[in-house]
């Protein structure tokens, strides 16, 4: 069987996933406290939260959580733009709101000082993945082939999932 090295993004995802184990979302468990948890209908108890806690000052935590909510809104805008055949609009949102060129607007340098190295790597992987999506989405506008943009969007989303599975802000 041939050996294939993992691309850099896959390495970050694997590392974050290994750190997280089979963690569940502490926030989701808290949100559903007293209701039997998010998966109560499945008859299983919620496992304990094994994500790495990351301590931010309260104002920075609030700012970072607001940024993450904006990231989620940006993902929704990208999905809608791709669904509407507006790949150039998807590319613009990906780069401006999530890509490497967005780092200054998010205050990434200030936030990074509070993150463990693995979380910093996951964040950088997300921003690089968004910039790759922007390039691929622009290409889709010229070629008409949207599948590479959808794959790039999936890879971007996987970076978010890996980080949220591995870390929790406190």
**What are 30-56's pLDDT values in tens digits?**
443 444 445 455 567 778 999 999 999
pLDDT value at residue 107: 77
16, part of any domain: no
Secondary structure of the chain in the HEC alphabet? CCCCCCCHHHHHHHHHHHHHCCCCCHHHHHHCCCCCCCCHHHCCCCCCCCCEEECCCHHHHHHHHHHHHHHHHHHHHHHHHHHCCCHHHHHHHHHHHHCHHHHHHHCHHHHHCCCCHHHHHHHHHHHHHHHHHHHHHHHHHHHCCCHHHHHHHHHHHHHHHHHHHHEEEC
35, part of any domain: no
Structural domain boundaries enclosing 163: 56-170
Number of domains in the chain: 1
Per-residue pLDDT at 59 exceeds 60: yes
């Amino acid at each position: 069987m041939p050996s294939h090295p993992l691309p850099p993004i896959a390495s970050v995802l694997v590392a974050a996933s290994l750190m997280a184990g089979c963690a569940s979302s502490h926030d989701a468990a808290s949100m559903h406290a007293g209701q039997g948890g998010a998966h109560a209908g499945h008859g299983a108890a919620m496992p304990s939260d094994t994500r790495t806690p990351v301590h931010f000052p309260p104002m920075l935590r609030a700012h970072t959580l607001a940024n993450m909510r904006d990231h989620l809104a940006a993902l929704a805008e990208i999905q809608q733009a791709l669904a509407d055949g507006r790949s150039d609009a998807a590319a613009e949102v990906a780069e401006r709101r999530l890509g490497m060129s967005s780092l200054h607007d998010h205050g990434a340098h200030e936030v990074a000082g509070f993150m463990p190295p693995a979380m910093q790597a996951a964040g950088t992987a997300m921003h690089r993945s968004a910039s790759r999506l922007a390039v691929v989405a622009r290409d889709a506008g010229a070629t008409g082939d949207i599948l590479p943009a959808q794959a790039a969007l999936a890879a971007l989303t996987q970076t978010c999932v890996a980080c949220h599975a591995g870390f929790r802000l406190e």
